Each structure stands twice: as C-alpha cells, then as structure tokens.
Chains A and B, each alone.
Chain A
Amino acid sequence: MMGKWWRSAALALGISSLAIGVAHATQIFDPSTRTWVNYNPSRAIEYYRAHGSVPGDFRRQVVKFRTAEKPGTVIIDANKHYLYLVLPDFQAIRYGIGVGRDGFGWAGIVRVGRMQEWPTWTPPAEMVARDPKAAKYASGMPGGPDNPLGARALYLYEGNQDTIYRIHGTTEPWSIGLDISSGCIRMNNEDVVDLYSRVEVGAKVIVLMQGAALYRGV
C-alpha cells in the first residue's frame, strides 16, 4: 500500500525542516517556572494527571477559519496538532490531535472512505512484524473501550484505495498534542464521536505536515 504513494517528494524538493537543521517541537508554558518547556509523553502524562485534561489549546473549540474549502471538509495541521472541521461562515471546529511520530508523519489530500463505530483494530503487517503487542492481535482486536482505535474510526482513502491511515479515538487521551502514532490521526473519544456525527463519507481530508513524506491525489 505504501509503495503506491509518492513517498519522499518533500525531501526531494529540499523542504525538509530536518534538512535545514530546524526541528519542530511543541512546548507548553510552565506557570511555576514561567518558562516554555518541551511537551513530550512524560510531561503530557504529568499534565493530564494534574489537570484531568490536555492543555486548553488542544480542547475542542470553534475558531475563525478563512477558506474556500466547503463545509464538511477536514483539514489537519499536523505540526500544530489541530484538526479543523470547516463550518459555514468562515468558521471551523478545532480539535486537538496526536499525529505520526518521527518518520511516520505524512501530508496529502485524501478522503473519508468509510466510518465505523467501535471499530475492530487489525494491525498492519509491518506493525505486527515490529511490535510484539500488535502481533497478539494480528487477526483483529474487537471494538471496545480497550481497543486502541477508541470509539470511532474514519478510514482515509486515496481514490478507492484504503491508505491504512485513520482518524480514530484513543485509550490514551493524554497523548493529544504529541507526535506519537504510526501515522494515524488520534483524537480523544469525546472529540472523535463529535467529529463522526458531523462528517460524511466522501469528505475531503487535507493533511498539512511540514517536511513529511508527501501523498497526493483524490
């Protein structure tokens, strides 16, 4: 599946942020030291334990969004860990997301091919090969509260082909705001349920991620 996509075009164009020695990182403001600190998994877990939620910027909110894309379009700003659902009147709902970790991020234009409540998780062969925990579920893990895809999944297609990437819920709500996945877009379960109720099969999904492998074409 991956071979069908146009990989590494961004690198070929010389636009990789790594190539120019600038790494993207998310930081949060620590009010106790009044400094900005890197937001990594351990700090995210610590923050979630202390506050019972992710930082305010990653919580669902309606924002101004000037675009010619039609309402119902999904736009993902992977660098900033935001997913926008375009609304009428130059507005959008902005949700916090987790995205692909180093080497697993991607950018492109795809569409929602199908949607599923409490989806079964079937790890791809590559994941089964490299992750013993995934190997246990090589034939599929039934949907439910312990399933890593969470409450809902939107399956992303390029044309009529499943990209193997999804927008889905999570059992790790603290991970919103991080580069942590194998390329899927993760949301907390309340947010993915909300998104699922507003999106239709066929919706255009634009994924922006600076310096990532590039996939195109609907």
Chain B
Amino acid sequence: MSLRLSVNVAVLVSAGALLAACQSGGSGSPAAPSSTVRQTVVTAPADLQLICASEAATRFSVASNAVLPVSSQQVENGQYRVDLTVDSGRAVCVVDDNANIVSLERA
C-alpha cells in the first residue's frame, strides 16, 4: 500500500516538474541569449575585417601595413561590408560569415 502511494506521489511530482518545464519553455518570454553582451551597432568580426585587408593588400599590390579596416556593417544575413583605407585611397569589401570575399573594389 505504502509502495503504491510512493509511486503515485512520484508520478505526480514528475508530471508537475514536466508541466513546469513546459510552461517555462512556452511562456512567451524571450529566452536568455547565449551571449550576455551585445553591441547596438553590428560590426564585422575582427578576423573577417582583416581577411578583407589581407586580400586588398594582395590584389592591389600594396604593403599589408598600408591597409586598415576603418568601418564595417552587416549588410544582410551572413554578409558584412568592410571599408578599408588602402594607401591614400579607399576600398570596399564584402565578406561572408565563411570568410569568403564576395566583392572587393577600390572606391
């Protein structure tokens, strides 16, 4: 008898826990983000900016120290525009999340 009671209590507790978990997941509140920090302006990751700089140095035959990313922004999902100074001029690069150069032109 006491064993049956214990089993019943265990089933009720489990069901309650499951219900609470479901309610927690479906309450409509935004889920906690994986990162606890964000920027109000989305810039390109530093490595992607430098991939653009490296490609510009190669393509325009200038020293790598003469190219610097100075501005960047997300242009669409998974793609970033990176503005570069190249010697005394400018160039615009578009790079994707997989580090592929989509375009690179002198501005």
Interface residues of B (CB under 8 A from A): 29-30, 32-33, 35-41, 43, 45-51, 54, 65-66, 68-72, 83, 85, 90, 99
Contact = CB atoms under 8 A, between A and B. Distances in A.
A161 interface: no
A218 B65 contact: yes
Interface of A: 9-10, 13, 15, 17, 22-29, 31, 34, 36, 39, 55-58, 64-69, 75, 77, 79-80, 82, 84, 92, 107-109, 177, 206, 208, 210-211, 214, 216-218
Given A75-B46, A108-B68, A26 B39 contact: yes
B65 to A, nearest CB: 5
A55 B65 CA distance: 34
Contacts of A109: 65, 68
B72 A57 contact: no
Nearest to A110: B65
Contacts, number: 109
Contact of A79 (B43, B65, B83, B99): B43
B39 A107 contact: no
A214 B50 CA distance: 16
Given A10-B70, A15-B71, A22-B40, 11 more contacts: A24-B39, A29-B38, A57-B36, A67-B51, A69-B50, A75-B46, A75-B50, A77-B43, A80-B43, A210-B41, A214-B85
A80 B85 contact: no
A210 B65 contact: no
The 10 lowest CB-CB distance pairs between A and B, nearest first, are A57-B37, A77-B46, A15-B71, A25-B40, A68-B54, A66-B47, A66-B99, A65-B47, A55-B36, A24-B41
A110 to B, nearest CB: 10
B39 A79 contact: yes
20 contacts: A10-B70, A13-B85, A17-B71, A23-B40, A25-B40, A25-B41, A26-B38, A29-B32, A31-B32, A65-B46, A66-B99, A77-B46, A79-B43, A80-B43, A80-B46, A84-B46, A206-B50, A210-B41, A216-B65, A217-B65
A68 B50 contact: yes
A193 to B, nearest CB: 23
Among A79, A92, A177, the most chain B Cβ lie within 10 Å of the Cβ of A79
B54 A210 contact: no
Among A57, A77, A208, A211, the most chain B Cβ lie within 10 Å of the Cβ of A208
B51 A29 contact: no
